Structure 1
Amino acid sequence: MAPRTTSAPQPKPGLRERKKIQTRQAIQRAAYRLFAEQGYDATPVDQIAEAAEVSPSTVLRYFPTKEDIVLTDEYDALIADAIRDRPLDEPPITALRHVTVGLLEQFAGKERDETPARLALIRQSPALRARMGEGLARTGVMLGGVLAERSGRAPDDFEVRVVVGAVIGALQEAVFHCFDHQRVEDMEETIDRALDVLARGLPL
């Protein structure tokens, strides 16, 4: 295994963005607690709103569907901005390693308790797995656009799409590897390792 990449500190979000993140996380924490107590399918949005001390319309503003409560996070916009800040001569996978691991180290501690419950729900619910696929596709479009900016290519460039597809697959495998082996605390290291595999290739 290659030495772990040392990530430069990522810029902290502004006050408005931090407040939005806090509201999203409060709704998600309330939802996970109710899902654990009475099940995902048996938990309506209005109960989640009451438990989070917000209105149902606030829940729906942040999460248009109940599936989004489990699947939505704040990382896509932050990843896009952080990648744009990386040196232009840095290889794409290296830039993604710095950014992804750095942001996880910044935020994952706040979400660590919810991560196993979140992944268990995704494993158990076909609706959540389908919605997850849609979310990963949107993340792929975002990554493709940012990497295309860096390289002067079109977002639908074949090689850009191949790299993005490989990155999305690596991230998904890393996350579920941690869950399946009950090592969620190793998430950052495992994601770093997965992206290292992409960067150096599989030895023959």
Structure 2
Amino acid sequence: MTATPQPGVRAQNKARTRAAIRFAALDLVTEQGYHATTVAQIAAAAGVSHTTLFRYFESKEQVLVSDDLEDARHELFENAPAGLSHFDLIRHIMRGLFDLAMADEWASNPGRAYLLRTEPTLRMAHQLAADSMLQEGLTLIAEYTGTDESALSLRVFIAAVSGVLMHILDRVAMPNEDTLAEVLDALDLLEQGLPL
């Protein structure tokens, strides 16, 4: 059994700097509001320069909206077991995304979740990021099932699943095991043809 390679010192330092910037932003925005918080304030609170902050994040909103799970999400999407139905593929992805988020200190931070839900600028940016992930999911399902990406059946399926997800996630302060169970129950209902 091979050990998982540990990140090098440079990668660890980068991760610490990104975390310091994120949590400084979270504290400041929580205290004084998103629009009242400047990039200079965030950089000073994190102990970095304005330039360094922009080396790590493209904008103030991305400090709070982004996470470091993109590679893990790609791996989850690309390593789905063969032979799943389109509903089982979605279940696999939902369970995997939930596990990734819950295991990550930043992605599972309740204060961050609150800001992403309640601050209009952040909510919009977060929605755009979610839309991008949905497009990636559509491409994955198209490739996995051998369905044309522009097929109406696939687009309706993705729209139905994403609509249900948004409805459930909008109603919770912070996703938890009960949220995942409700998502999976909702997928069961969709698969059964929406019985009442």
* Normalised TM-score (structure 2): 0.76
When residues 102 and 141 of structure 1 are mapped into structure 2, their CA distance, relative to the original with a 3 A threshold, is closer
2:195 corresponding residue in structure 1: 203
Offset from partner CA, 1:56-88 (integer Å, 9 cap, x none): 333324332222222212344422321221222
Q: Which has the larger radius of gyration?
A: 2
- Partners of 1:23 and 1:173 lie apart in 2 by 35
Q: Does residue 64 of the first structure (1) align with residue 43 of the second (2)?
A: no
Shift of 1:170: 3.1
1:92-131 pair list within 5 angstroms = 92-111=86-105, 115-131=109-125
Shift of 1:178: 1.9
| Conserved? CA contact 1:27–1:52, under 8 Å | yes
| Conserved? CA contact 2:101–2:107, under 8 Å | no
- Partners of 1:88 and 1:21 lie apart in 2 by 34
Q: Please give the root-mean-square deviation of Cα atoms over the aligned residues, in Å.
A: 3.0
1:15 corresponding residue in structure 2: 7
- Partners of 2:45 and 2:80 lie apart in 1 by 40
Q: 2:182 aligns with which of 184, 187, 193?
A: 193
When residues 115 and 173 of structure 1 are mapped into structure 2, their CA distance, relative to the original with a 3 A threshold, is farther
**How many aligned residue pairs are there?**
187
Name the % identity: 32
* Normalised TM-score (structure 1): 0.73
Which stretch shows the higher mean deviation, 133-142 or 113-122? Answer: 113-122
1:25 corresponding residue in structure 2: 19
* Higher-RCO chain (CA-CA 8 Å, sequence separation at least 6): 1
| Conserved? CA contact 2:117–2:123, under 8 Å | yes
Which consecutive unaligned segments of at least 5 residues does structure 1 have? 1-11
Which consecutive unaligned segments of at least 5 residues does structure 2 have? none
| Conserved? CA contact 2:116–2:122, under 8 Å | yes
